[in-house]
Amino acid sequence: MNLTEVTAISAGNAHTCALLRNGSVACWGRQGFSGTNYGSLPKLAPLATNIVALASGAQHTCALSSNGNLFCWGENSSGSVGNGTSAPVLFPAQVVNLEEVVDMALGHHHS
């Protein structure tokens, strides 16, 4: 995949994601959980919504959609992905019990 029209970049410990002008997200590197590896070349993250903002923690990433929904994925041992579990989340999942989000910030093991 050739990255063009990048509007934002977000990096964790060993992975990087780019927000593209068309609202999609591409990631590369090692997400750091369960051996999931985007590889050395960017790959589109499986998000079906129009993403307007992106943030990364040490081993997780979150994406904010234009309608205020927040989607997160990655290492989740401290519940940083916001799905009510502590199991790794391999694909973007909507954060539960949270709507009309306008901004986000991620830390090492928290969002």
Number of domains the chain contains: 1
Establish if 55 belongs to a structural domain. yes
Establish if 68 belongs to a structural domain. yes
Establish if 63 belongs to a structural domain. yes
Cα(62)–Cα(33) distance, integer angstroms: 15
Q: What does the pLDDT look like over 45-96, one tens digit per residue?
A: 888 779 999 999 998 999 999 999 999 998 888 999 999 999 988 889 999 9
Angle at 42 between CA 48 and CA 76, to 5 degrees: 65
DSSP H helices in the chain? none
Task: Name the residue range of residue 32's domain.
Answer: 6-94
